[in-house]
Structure 1
Amino acid sequence: MSPVAALRLPIQTDLTGFIVLLRRLQVPHRVSEEAGEQVLWVPNEVAEQVRDLYLRFPQGDAALQVPASPQAAAGFVQQFRDSPLTAGMLGLTLLVAALTALGDNFAAIRWLSFVDFRIQGDYIYFSYLSEMLETRQWWRLITPMLIHFGLLHLTMNALWFWILGRRIEARQGSWMLLGLTLLFSLASNLAQYSFSGPALFGGLSGVLYGMLGHCWLFQLLAPNAEYRLPRGVLVMMLAWLLICMTGIFELLQFGAIANAAHVGGLLAGCLTGLLGGALARRRAGR
Structure 2
Amino acid sequence: MTEIGVLPNIRAAQALSDYLKGQGIACQLEPAAEGIIISIVKDQDVKTAEEILDHFLSHPNDPRYLQASWDHGDSRNRIDYGSSAQGIVREFLRDSGPLTLIIFGLCIVIFILMNMGYANQVFGQLSYFGAIGSFGNEASEWWRFFTPSLLHFSLMHISFNLLWWWYFGGKIEKRVGLVTLLTLLIVAGTLPNLLQAHFSGPNFGGLSGVVYALIGYVWVMQQRCPQKGLAMPPALMVMSVLWMILGFAGLLPTATANSAHLGGLLIGLAQGVIDSKRYQ
Q: TM-score range by the shorter chain?
A: 0.5 to 0.7
Task: Give me the whole-angstrom Cα distance separating, in 2, the residues matched to 1:181 and 1:83.
Answer: 14
Counterpart for residue 273 of structure 1: 272
Counterpart for residue 150 of structure 2: 146
Counterpart for residue 86 of structure 1: 100
Task: Give me the whole-angstrom Cα distance separating, in 2, the residues matched to 1:217 and 1:102.
Answer: 41
- How far apart are 1:218 and its partner, in Å? 2.4
Structure 1 pair 104/242, CA: closer, same or farther in 2 (3 Å)? farther
What one-letter code is carried by the residue in structure 1 that aligns with 2:84?
A
Counterpart for residue 258 of structure 2: 259
- How far apart are 1:275 and its partner, in Å? 0.6
What one-letter code is carried by the residue in structure 2 that aligns with 1:232?
A
Counterpart for residue 42 of structure 2: none
Task: Give me the whole-angstrom Cα distance separating, in 1, the residues matched to 2:104 and 2:161.
Answer: 10
Q: Which has the larger radius of gyration?
A: 2
Mapping 1:18-29, distance limit 5 Å: none
Deviations 1:170-223 (CA, angstroms, capped at 9, x unpaired): 2211222122111111121011012123x2100010000011111112222222
> Paired residue for 2:207, among 200, 204, 207?
204
Task: Give me the whole-angstrom Cα distance separating, in 2, the residues matched to 1:102 and 1:220.
Answer: 44
Structure 1 pair 230/172, CA: closer, same or farther in 2 (3 Å)? same
Structure 1 pair 238/99, CA: closer, same or farther in 2 (3 Å)? same
Structure 1 pair 73/216, CA: closer, same or farther in 2 (3 Å)? closer
Task: Give me the whole-angstrom Cα distance separating, in 1, the residues matched to 2:183 and 2:225.
Answer: 20
- Percentage identity across paired residues of the two chains: 33
Counterpart for residue 245 of structure 1: 248
Counterpart for residue 114 of structure 2: 100
- Contact (CA 8 Å) 2:176, 2:228: kept in 1 or not? no
Counterpart for residue 76 of structure 1: 91
- Contact (CA 8 Å) 2:126, 2:151: kept in 1 or not? yes
Q: Give structure 1 stretches of 5+ with no counterpart.
A: 1-66, 119-124, 282-286
> Paired residue for 1:229, among 227, 232, 243?
232
- Contact (CA 8 Å) 1:170, 1:226: kept in 2 or not? no
- Contact (CA 8 Å) 1:102, 1:151: kept in 2 or not? no
Task: Give me the whole-angstrom Cα distance separating, in 1, the residues matched to 2:117 and 2:102.
Answer: 21
Counterpart for residue 181 of structure 1: 185
Taking structure 1 as the reference length, what is the TM-score of the superposition? 0.63
Counterpart for residue 127 of structure 1: 135
Task: Give me the whole-angstrom Cα distance separating, in 2, the residues matched to 1:216 and 1:83.
Answer: 20
Displaced runs of 4 or more, over 4 A: none
Taking structure 2 as the reference length, what is the TM-score of the superposition? 0.65
- How far apart are 1:264 and its partner, in Å? 0.6
RMSD over aligned Cα atoms? 2.3
Structure 1 pair 76/104, CA: closer, same or farther in 2 (3 Å)? same
> Paired residue for 2:162, among 147, 158, 169?
158
1:195 paired with 2:199, answer: yes
- How far apart are 1:233 and its partner, in Å? 1.4
1:233 match: secondary structure? helix
Aligned residues: 198
Task: Give me the whole-angstrom Cα distance separating, in 1, the residues matched to 2:265 and 2:85.
Answer: 38
Counterpart for residue 129 of structure 2: 115
Task: Give me the whole-angstrom Cα distance separating, in 1, the residues matched to 2:117 and 2:228.
Answer: 37
1:111 match: secondary structure? helix
- Contact (CA 8 Å) 1:103, 1:149: kept in 2 or not? no
- Contact (CA 8 Å) 1:214, 1:272: kept in 2 or not? yes
Structure 1 pair 84/221, CA: closer, same or farther in 2 (3 Å)? same
Structure 1 pair 173/191, CA: closer, same or farther in 2 (3 Å)? same
Task: Give me the whole-angstrom Cα distance separating, in 2, the residues matched to 1:102 and 1:153.
Answer: 17
- Contact (CA 8 Å) 1:102, 1:150: kept in 2 or not? no
Q: Give structure 2 stretches of 5+ with no counterpart.
A: 1-82
